[in-house]
C-alpha cells in the first residue's frame, strides 16, 4: 500500500496504528523521488541516508518532506541552486527546518529552485530546468519549482518553499496543489538565503489546506535570531480550521477579471476567467458576499516595476557577501579583486547578473530618489489601498495568472502586456506582508489552474478558513499529477 499520496492526518493515524513504519515511509518517498528526478529535475540533493525517527503524538513525526534548497541545513548540501554555492555545506540549520525537526519531521530531499529564488519559471537552477509533472513540456513557475513538482508528483505530503513575489503560490497553481505564505514574520527567516528581505516569506506547498495549516503551525514562532518575527502563539491554524464562512465578504479586481478587457484573449484565458466566475458563485453559495472593486490602474500597472526595483536593490545588498572567500568555490586571479570578479562572473547566471546591475543602478546616490525611493512610495500607496479594502472585506480573491502552466519553449514570451496584472498581482501579498494562499481551481485542457485568497496581516486563520471552505466545495483536494501516474 502507498502512503505518500495521502494527507498528513491519514498517514499519522497509520503510523500510530503501526500499519506502517517511518522507515517504510522514508523508503517509499526516496524511491518516488528517484523515480521522478530524471523527468522533472525536482531535486538538487536526495538524502538517501535519511533516518527514521520516533513516532509520537506530533502529527508530523516520522513523515518525510522536502526542503527548498535555499534553506540552510546543517551537514547537507545547500546550494540555492547556484554555481556560487555548488559545494556549500552549512554548519547550521534554518529555524523553520529546526522547528520541524523538533516535531519529528524527516527531510528526504533538497528541492531545485530558480537561482537564489530570483525567477518565476523554474529554468535558471544550476542543475537545469524543472519540468511540470502534469506535462513535462511545461514549466512549474518559480522559484519553488522543485518543491511544487515533488509534492504534485506524490513524493511526500509537503515541501518547504519561499515566496518573494509569488514563488510559492504560482508554482502551486501550475502544479495543481496548495501554496501558502503566512503573514510576514510568522515564520522565522533565519537560515533562509536572503533575496529581498522586506519581501521574503517562508511557507509551504501541500495537497490540502488542512495540511498547510498543520505544517505552518509547526514551523512558526518568534525567533530571537530574526527580529522581524512576532509572537503567534495565540494563532492556531489547524485547531481553528472550520468550513463556516457564512457572512464573510470577499472582493476582486473587476476590470482585471473582465474578459471584455482582453480583446486578444486566447482560449486558455477565456476559460480561466470563466472558471473564476464560477468559483465566485461557489463562494456565494457558501454564504459569502463577493463584490468587484476598482483599483487605480496606474498603481496596478506599476506592480512589476516596483517589484523589480525593490527586490533587485535588496538582492544586490544581501548578496554582496558572495565573494568566493567566505564560502563557495574560490575564483582565480592575482589578487582578491580579480578573484572576486572571476567568482561572481563565472558563478552567477545572466539573469542574476542583470538583477544585480539593476539593483546597483537604482541604489546609486544620483538615482535613489527617482527609482528606489519612488518605488517605495508606490509600494506604500498600494498597501494603503489594500488595507482600506480590508477594512470592509475579509479577503481578496483572484485567479492565479492568465491560465495553466506555460510551455517551456514559450517562456521568453509568456507575459503579454495586457495580462501583466493577472500575472503579477500576487506581488501585492509580499508588498504588504499579507497572508495569502493558492488552492486548485479546476483544469483547462487537462492542466490545473489555481485561485488565490489574500487577507489582512495577522488574519491567517480567517484566510485559511475561507480557502478550506472553498476547497471543500470542489473536488481537487489531494490530487496527484496525472503524467507521473501513467
Measured between alpha carbons, how far is 416 from 2 in angstroms, rounded to an integer?
A: 42
- φ and ψ of 27, to 5 deg: -60, -45
From the candidates 68, 170, 181, 462, give the one annotated as an active-site residue: 68
Cell of 296: 487605480
- Catalytic choice (145, 147, 150, 167): 167
Report the C-alpha gap between 75 and 93 in whole angstroms: 9
DSSP one-letter code for 169: H
CA distance 216 to 110: 18
Strand partners, 398: 452
What is the C-alpha separation between 393 and 398, in angstroms, rounded? Answer: 14
* Neighbouring residues of 16: CB distance < 8 A, sequence distance ≥ 6: 55
Backbone angles phi, psi at 248, to 5 degrees: -70, 150
CA 371 to chain centre: 27
By 3-state DSSP, what share of the chain in percent is helix, strand and coil, each rounded to 5?
A: 40, 15, 45
Would residue 341 show up in a list of annotated catalytic residues for this protein? Answer: no
**50/60 Cα distance (integer angstroms):** 15
Candidates 428, 429, 443, 437; CA nearest to 467 is: 437
* CA angle at 226 for the pair 427 and 323, rounded to the nearest 5°: 80
Residue 458 DSSP SS3 = coil
Say how far apart CA 47 and CA 110 lie, in whole Å.
8
Candidate list 22, 61, 72, 143, residue with the active-site label: 143
410 DSSP 8-state letter:
G
Which DSSP category does 83 fall into? G
102 is catalytic: no
Whole-angstrom CA distances from 207 to 149, 219, 228 are 11, 17, 29
d(CA 108, CA 467): 29
Catalytic residues: 68, 143, 167
Amino acid at each position: 500500500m502507498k502512503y505518500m499520496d495521502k494527507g498528513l492526518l491519514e498517514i499519522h493515524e497509520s503510523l500510530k496504528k503501526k500499519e506502517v513504519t517511518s522507515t517504510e515511509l522514508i523508503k517509499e518517498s526516496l524511491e518516488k523521488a528517484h523515480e521522478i528526478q530524471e523527468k522533472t529535475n525536482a531535486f538538487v540533493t536526495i538524502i538517501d541516508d535519511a533516518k527514521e525517527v520516533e513516532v509520537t503524538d506530533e502529527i508530523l513525526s516520522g513523515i518525510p518532506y522536502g526542503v527548498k534548497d535555499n534553506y540552510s541545513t546543517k551537514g547537507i548540501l545547500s546550494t540555492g541552486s547556484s554555481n556560487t554555492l555548488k559545494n556549500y555545506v552549512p554548519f547550521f540549520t534554518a529555524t523553520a527546518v529546526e522547528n520541524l525537526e523538533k516535531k519529528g519531521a524527516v527531510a528526504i530531499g533538497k528541492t531545485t529552485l530558480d537561482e537564489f529564488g530570483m525567477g518565476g519559471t523554474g529554468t535558471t537552477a544550476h542543475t537545469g530546468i524543472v519540468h511540470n509533472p502534469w506535462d513535462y513540456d511545461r514549466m512549474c513557475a518559480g522559484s519553488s519549482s522543485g518543491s511544487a513538482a515533488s509534492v504534485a508528483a506524490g513524493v511526500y505530503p509537503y515541501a518547504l518553499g519561499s515566496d518573494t513575489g509569488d514563488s510559492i503560490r504560482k508554482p502551486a497553481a501550475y502544479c495543481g496543489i496548495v501554496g501558502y505564505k503566512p503573514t510576514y514574520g510568522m515564520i522565522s527567516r533565519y537560515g533562509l538565503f536572503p533575496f529581498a528581505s522586506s519581501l521574503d516569506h517562508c511557507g509551504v506547498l501541500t495537497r490540502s489546506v488542512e495540511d498547510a495549516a498543520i505544517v505552518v503551525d509547526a514551523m512558526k514562532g518568534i525567533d530571537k535570531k530574526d527580529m522581524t518575527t512576532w509572537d503567534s502563539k495565540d494563532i492556531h491554524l489547524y485547531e481553528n480550521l472550520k468550513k463556516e464562512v457564512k457572512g464573510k465578504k470577499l472582493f476582486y479586481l473587476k476590470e482585471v477579471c473582465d474578459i471584455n478587457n482582453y480583446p486578444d484573449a486566447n482560449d486558455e484565458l477565456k476559460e480561466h476567467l470563466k472558471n473564476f466566475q464560477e468559483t465566485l458563485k461557489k463562494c456565494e453559495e457558501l454564504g459569502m458576499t463577493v463584490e468587484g472593486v476598482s483599483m487605480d490602474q496606474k498603481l496596478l500597472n506599476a506592480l512589476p516595476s516596483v517589484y523589480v526595483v525593490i527586490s533587485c536593490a535588496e538582492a544586490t545588498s544581501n548578496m554582496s557577501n558572495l565573494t568566493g572567500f567566505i564560502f563557495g568555490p574560490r575564483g582565480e586571479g592575482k589578487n582578491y579583486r580579480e578573484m572576486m570578479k572571476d567568482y561572481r562572473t563565472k558563478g552567477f547566471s545572466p539573469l542574476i547578473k542583470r538583477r544585480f546591475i539593476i539593483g546597483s543602478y537604482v541604489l546609486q546616490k544620483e538615482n535613489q530618489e527617482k527609482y528606489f525611493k519612488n518605488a517605495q512610495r508606490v509600494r506604500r500607496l498600494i498597501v494603503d489601498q489594500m488595507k482600506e479594502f480590508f477594512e470592509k472585506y475579509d479577503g481578496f480573491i483572484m485567479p492565479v495568472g492568465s491560465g495553466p502552466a506555460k510551455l517551456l519553449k514559450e517562456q521568453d514570451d509568456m507575459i503579454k502586456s495586457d495580462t501583466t496584472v493577472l500575472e503579477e498581482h500576487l506581488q501585492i501579498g509580499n508588498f504588504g506582508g499579507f497572508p495569502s494562499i493558492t488552492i486548485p481551481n479546476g483544469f483547462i485542457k487537462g492542466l490545473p489552474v489555481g485561485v488565490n485568497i489574500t487577507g489582512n496581516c495577522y488574519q491567517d486563520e480567517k484566510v485559511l478558513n475561507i480557502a478550506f471552505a472553498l476547497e471543500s466545495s470542489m473536488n481537487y483536494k489531494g490530487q496527484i499529477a496525472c503524467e507521473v501516474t501513467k
